[in-house]
Chain A
């Protein structure tokens, strides 16, 4: 099996790993780096549970070849809270009941973070569009959108 060594940033930490050409970014995060916050829901880029931020853009980590990662930057859900303090998005999700089983939550939060990084005060319709690639079987989405609106409201204008 062919292997490649890749050096890339994960949550601001420079990381070097040897990956198989069969690995996806999702596999490297979960199996080699122990970052199991990112989930595999469908493995085909439709549910968004595996969403991470790659070079500033929300992507499905199940669709990114690990061998392509050299020189890139990845942010996962583990990279959001600093020193035990919840990120405003995480805090808002908890307060708004936007988390039930929680399986979709890391993916939603990463999509929301990518949105707010580009557009700090989105309209509700813009939030809906930005999270259209994240599926939730539990909540019915309204609480999730409320939480993102709340977190956006607390951002600097």
Chain B
């Protein structure tokens, strides 16, 4: 059993906007986070769940040329079974393939994963380094928000040991963790296709190699020029910061240089230094601060030197 006031299922986005504008409306699509939160707590007793799941108007994956547009009701399984996604945005495909398990992926949506805004989300780091944006609609109309501007800083989430859904502090995330207005809902995501030179690595560290929440994860992209020097690099680590961040944040010390582990250390050090600011807030800091630099080094070695990370052979 869960504890909720009411349930409704709009047939269209227009109807959803009307329903979501009402007091106490909580929108969802797959419900794989929401149904867990509603089971244990009573704070949804006066709320109405607005079910966007399976809405045909939101169930599209469109190739727009340089970008791909993904509707908010597209499940992670549908994403994974779409060849265009695996070919054009392999980093997102990799990240989505590591979310939970098949049963969850058959219901969960990319939009929901973003809207839930967990610091340990697997898809969010990929969307950050790929420079994705979301299209949002509400009674005041439609707007587009870059993913990098979608999240609010949340120190409380760092204190949340394990970052499990069932003990999440925030039942509703729209105004607490996101820069959305009450009543707004995500209708689609837009992602730039990875270029031919744009390599990527996604890595997720879990307890016991289980399919649970990430203890640490990261998504990184980079490219090498014809002379073998670095022409681009960006990484978003997950499970560590109060809101998603891409590194390097200022100048990129890798550009124009030949990749080697000593060079990677400049990026790794910047991230470690930033992480040190969370020392008193982040649950598991002692572990994460020691392990994150190691896996980042290994990730960059895989990205630029072709040395596979341990555990990266897991694939669908």
What residues of chain A have their CB less than 8 Å away from a CB belonging to chain B?
Answer: 2, 4, 20-24, 27, 43-46, 48, 51, 54, 57-60, 62-65, 67-68, 111, 114, 126, 129-130, 132-134
A44-B36, A45-B36, A64-B31 known; A133 vs B102 contact (CB < 8 Å): yes
Q: Are A68 and B7 in contact (CB under 8 A)?
A: yes
Contact of A63 (CB < 8 Å), options: B4, B7, B32: B32
State the majority secondary structure of interface residues on B. Answer: loop
Decide: A23 and B36 in contact? CB cutoff 8 A.
Answer: no
A-B contact count (CB 8 A): 93
Q: Does B31 lie within 8 Å of A22, measured CB to CB?
A: no
* A144 CB to nearest B CB, Å: 15
B residues sitting closer than 8 Å to A (CB atoms) are: 1-7, 9, 31-32, 35-36, 39, 49, 51, 53, 77, 100-104, 106-107, 165-166, 211-212, 314, 316
- Cα-based distance from A27 to B39 in the complex (angstroms): 12
The answer for the CA separation of A108 and B32 in the assembled complex, in Å, is 19
Q: Is the beta-carbon distance between B31 and A57 smaller than 8 angstroms?
A: no
Residues of A contacting B316 with CB < 8 Å?
A: 126, 129
Q: Do B31 and A63 have beta carbons less than 8 Å apart?
A: yes
Q: List chain B residues, Cβ under 8 A from A134.
A: 101
Contacts of B106 in A (CB 8 A): 54, 57-59
A58-B102, A65-B35, A68-B7 given. 14 additional CB < 8 A pairs? A20-B1, A21-B49, A24-B2, A27-B1, A44-B39, A45-B103, A57-B77, A62-B35, A63-B104, A64-B35, A65-B51, A67-B51, A111-B102, A111-B103
CB contact under 8 A between A2 and B103, given known A62-B35, A132-B211: no
3 tightest CB-CB pairs across the interface, nearest first? A133-B101, A57-B106, A67-B7
Contact A64 B100 (CB under 8 A): no
- A and B contact pairs by CB, cutoff 8 A, 14 listed: A4-B7, A43-B39, A45-B32, A48-B101, A57-B107, A58-B103, A63-B104, A64-B107, A65-B51, A68-B9, A68-B53, A111-B103, A114-B102, A132-B101
A54→B54 CA distance, assembly (Å): 13
Please tell me if the beta carbons of A2 and B107 are within 8 angstroms of each other in the complex.
no
Q: Is A63 a contact of B36 with CB atoms below 8 Å? A: yes
Judge whether B107 and A22 touch: CB under 8 Å. no
Which of chain A's residues have a CB closer than 8 A to the CB of B9?
67-68
Given A57-B77, A63-B35, do A45 and B7 touch, yes or no (CB 8 Å)?
no
Closest A residue by C-beta to B316:
A129
Give min CB distance, B145 to chain A, whole Å. Answer: 28
B70 to chain A, nearest CB (A): 18
Neighbouring B residues of A51 by C-beta, 8 Å: 103
